[in-house]
Amino acid sequence: MGTTMEAKVIHALSECIRTDKPAALVTVVATAGSAPGKPGALMVIIGDGTTIGTVGGGSLEHKITTEAIQCIGLGKNKEVSYDLQADAELGMSCGGTVRAFIKVFKAAPQLIIVGAGHIGLELYKIGRLQGFQVVIFDERPELASKERFPEAKLFVVDDLPASLKEYKLHCDCYVTIATASHDTDRLTLEAVIESNASYIGMIGSSSKIRKTFEYLLKKGVQREKIENVFAPMGLNIASIRPEEIAISIIGEILLVKNNGSPEHMRSVKKISIKDAI
């Protein structure tokens, strides 16, 4: 790969990082025998399947591209190796082997705030501090505005259940539901519960949550899906103040995102006064 093509690959990757688009950089690490790609060959795969650069072409490149798209979806790096014998998986007759590394560059996680009221505003403030892209869903344009949420990535001011069904929720999405009415909360939860979002939470009283879950069961939603909903959302650390409620919700989201545990760090580290003696 010439320096001009390498420059295009690096530029494309830089643009993905700058614009917060998920992408993967594939680097050929080593080859043995006859192989189309050479060590150091680079290729960028953008989340939509677009490729820049080459690691050898043909069925090898197609297979690596497919692997890279899967890695982007999972948000995980991966080392891959391929046998280029005619009777091997790729059906190539080069006779060698190729080893490559797929490095994923993830987009920032998305905090989906459904409901732009008091709690939504506080969630936005803390979410931005934690590096989340924030997307605001609300049917009230006077609340879902740039003036109120200046750094929000996107505003969706439309029918909430319908617009959320159309929105592509993925594993880096964390959905919080706190709209102006119980009915809207219920219908919104129904719209997102089958999605791939890593976190779906809804605010509400025990009575409201119970009735919502009964409704979803009657609608045929699998019990396992309902059990995965965080409702009422948040950790048990807050008073009735919206600022504290938002902290408790973001804390719960971070617990899920970082595969944490709801314990004191002194318990996790097993530190006690005996250690000072």
pLDDT (tens digit per residue) in 45-55: 998 889 999 88
Note the pLDDT tens digit of each residue in 59-80: 888 889 999 999 988 888 999 9
Residue 29 three-state SS = strand
Burial of 19 (0-12, 13-18, 19+ CB in 10 A): exposed
| SS3 at position 140 | coil
**pLDDT greater than 50 at residue 88:** no
pLDDT digit string (tens) for 169-199?
A: 988 899 999 999 999 999 999 999 999 999 9
What value does the mean pLDDT take over residues 223-231? 96
Interatomic CA distance for residues 68 and 54, integer angstroms? 13
Interatomic CA distance for residues 7 and 12, integer angstroms: 8
Instruction: Give dist(CA 123, CA 149) in Å, integer.
Output: 11
Domains assigned to the chain: 3-105 (no CATH), 110-257 (3.40.50.720)
Contacts of 61 (CB under 8 A, 6+ apart): 43, 51, 54, 55
At 42, the pLDDT band (50, 70, 90 cuts) reads: very high
Q: How many CA atoms lie within 13 A of 36 on its CB side?
A: 18
Mean pLDDT of the residues in the chain:
89
- Supply the pTM of this predicted model: 0.76
Residue 92 pLDDT > 60 = no
State the number of CA atoms in the 13 A half-sphere of 48 facing the CB.
Answer: 5
Mean pLDDT of 23-49: 85
Residue 87 pLDDT > 90: no
3-state secondary structure of 265: helix
